[in-house]
Every structure is written in C-alpha cells, then in structure tokens.
C-alpha cells in the first residue's frame, strides 16, 4: 500500500511540475483545466483507496508496554552516563518481558551508535 501512495504522490508532483513549468501564467484556461482535472483525480484516487482493506481483523490481542526512563537530557548524552542510562531502561523493562508482546523504548533510550551497542542490544533478544 505504501508503494501505491508513493506512486500517486510522484505522479501528482510530476503533474504539478509540468503545469507550472509549461504555463508561466496560472490563470490561463489550460492551467485551470489541468488543475481541475488534478483535483478530481485526487478525489477519485482517495475514494478508491478508501475501499482497500488496509488491515486484517483478527481476534488476537497484543500486549504492549511503554517504558519511559525520565532521564534528564543534560546527563543522558554524557559518555559516562551511557551505560547507566541503558541499564535503567533494561531494569524498567524486565518486569514486562514475560507479560508483554512488545516493549517500546524512546528513540534515545540507547544514547550511542548501534554498532557500539550491539553487545548490549543482543542481550535483549
């Protein structure tokens, strides 16, 4: 579905570029008719996309845990606090490992490059 949306966006961007490049005056009849056709095409495609089944309904439930370490920004990025920060998130997450299907951390929960943190991250699996 994402590919379809990207193709449609690309088509409209190309169409807009062609209209603005070929017609310096936006009030010409050709520009107005192409604009109207573009708007109608957007509406038609939008209505067509509404009829697609974007997900599959199941009876399965998923348990999700959100972990927020509440670590102050002024200390989070200091090199000596990298491991304590990661250990805080690990300690807060461990009670949820058995009861949750997914544990979500903030994007800065591991405040260093993934390559450097591989050993720590492998222990989480």
For residue 104, report the phi and psi dihedrals to the nearest 5 degrees. -110, 130
Summarize pLDDT for 40-54 with one digit per residue, the tens: 888 888 888 888 888
Q: What is the pLDDT of residue 105?
A: 94
Summarize pLDDT for 84-106 with one digit per residue, the tens: 999 999 999 999 999 999 999 99
pTM as predicted? 0.55
């Amino acid at each position: 579905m994402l590919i379809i949306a990207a193709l449609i966006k690309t088509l409209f961007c190309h169409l807009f570029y062609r209209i603005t490049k070929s017609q310096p005056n936006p009030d010409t009849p050709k520009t107005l008719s192409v604009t109207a056709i573009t708007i109608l095409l957007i509406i038609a495609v939008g209505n067509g996309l509404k009829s697609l089944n974007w997900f599959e309904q199941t009876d399965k439930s998923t348990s999700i845990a959100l972990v927020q370490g509440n670590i102050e920004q002024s200390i989070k990025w200091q090199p000596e606090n990298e491991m304590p920060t990661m250990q805080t998130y690990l300690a807060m997450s461990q009670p949820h490992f058995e009861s949750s299907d997914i544990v979500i951390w903030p994007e800065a929960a591991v405040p260093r490059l993934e390559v450097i943190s591989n050993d720590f991250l492998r222990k989480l699996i």
